[in-house]
């Protein structure tokens, strides 16, 4: 069982309410979706797609959509784990007032969380780079199946952004489809490496952090500034920061308390600790 001074400090932070959660890929690893930099990320090599490569190379788009088409089956089978459910329960109790996630898997919402800000977008949507039309991923998956009726491939390792490892030979004959409205290029409605998060979304996150009594980071190494900036923002305004992650993070020096521990077990223990804490 998780105990000790860091655990008790985290318990106090949650008990006071007004907590904003900032989650990363480490929260979803217990659902079978690996991360890039945590324990599962270190066991394999992942080469994430960049925005420049995607828009500049038809071959790269064909490779991405073939890999993502196969990987989507894995993403849709993933279910929220104990960590996602605890965050939703803390929100329903009024202790968590907002959720910002760097994940694109939709598991927070599937676990019952409301009003989640998806910092990097969501894999369940597709956007046209020509006309801006957004459409459900299920619509694209149907069209890809129709365009590739005889295509078969065996999935390799699943990557955090929902694609799988395939060889060049496996993707060579895969056919990509374009926007139904304008014929433009289709892209998952997620932020690729080298692409900027929309300013309005960033501002919404800053505003949420500024209203918080505390910021709780769950399962993020904070290596990328996209998420780390909100930790710096909180610390610069004397808003206490708590971090639960497997391994060290870039934000450890900014935090009031850090805990290197499994996410699901730790959050479950925190919820149980709150149940044992007498109401003020």
Q: Binding site annotation covers 154? A: no
If you search the block for the tokens 């001074």, which residue do you land on?
5
- Integer CA distances (angstroms), 19 to 12, 48, 130, 162, 242, in order: 11, 31, 39, 29, 10
Residue 205 known to bind ligand: no
Q: Is 104 annotated as a binding residue?
A: yes
242 labelled ligand-binding: no
120 is catalytic: yes
47, with CB counted inside 10 A (0-12, 13-18, 19+), is exposed
**CA 88/CA 268 separation, integer angstroms:** 12
Q: Is 219 annotated as a binding residue?
A: yes
Q: Which of 69, 84, 85, 120 is labelled catalytic? A: 120
128 is annotated as contributing to ligand binding: yes
Annotated ligand binding at 103? The verdict is yes
Which residues, other chains included, contact 214 with Cβ-Cβ below 8 Å and sequence gap of 6+? Answer: 13, 14, 16, 18, 19, 20, 239, 240, 241, 242
Query: Any binding-site annotation on 4?
Result: no
Q: Is 245 annotated as a binding residue?
A: yes
> What letter would DSSP give residue 26?
G
Q: Would the annotation count 98 as a binding residue?
A: no
Annotated binding site: 102-105, 128, 131, 179, 182, 219-221, 245-247, 263
Which residues sit in the known binding site for Zn(2+)?
128, 131, 179, 182
Residues labelled catalytic = 120
Annotated binding site for NAD(+): 102-105, 219-221, 245-247, 263
């Amino acid at each position: 069982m998780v105990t000790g001074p860091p655990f008790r400090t985290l318990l106090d932070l949650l008990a006071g309410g007004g907590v904003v959660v900032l989650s990363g890929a480490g929260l979803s690893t217990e659902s079978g979706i690996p991360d890039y930099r945590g324990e599962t990320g270190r066991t394999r090599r992942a080469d994430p797609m960049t925005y420049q490569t995607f828009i500049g190379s038809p071959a790269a788009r064909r490779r991405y959509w073939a890999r993502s088409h196969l990987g989507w089956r894995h993403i849709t089978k993933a279910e929220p784990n104990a960590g996602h459910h605890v965050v939703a329960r803390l929100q329903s109790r009024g202790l968590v007032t907002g959720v910002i996630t760097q994940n694109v898997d939709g598991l927070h919402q599937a676990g019952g969380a409301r009003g989640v800000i998806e910092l990097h977008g969501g894999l369940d949507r597709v956007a046209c780079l020509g006309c801006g039309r957004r459409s459900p991923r299920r619509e694209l998956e149907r069209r890809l199946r129709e365009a590739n009726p005889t295509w078969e491939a065996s999935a390799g390792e699943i990557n955090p952004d929902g694609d799988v490892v395939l060889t060049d030979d496996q993707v060579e004959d895969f056919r990509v489809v374009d926007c139904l409205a304008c014929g433009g290029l289709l892209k998952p409605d997620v932020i690729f490496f080298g692409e900027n998060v929309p300013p309005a979304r960033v501002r919404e996150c800053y505003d949420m952090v500024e209203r918080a009594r505390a910021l709780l980071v769950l399962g993020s190494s904070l290596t990328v500034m996209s998420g780390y900036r909100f930790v710096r923002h909180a610390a610069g305004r004397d808003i206490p920061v708590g971090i639960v992650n497997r391994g060290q993070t870039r934000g450890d020096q900014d935090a009031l308390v850090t805990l290197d521990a499994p996410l699901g077990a730790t959050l479950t223990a925190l919820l149980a600790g709150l149940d044992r804490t007498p109401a003020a």
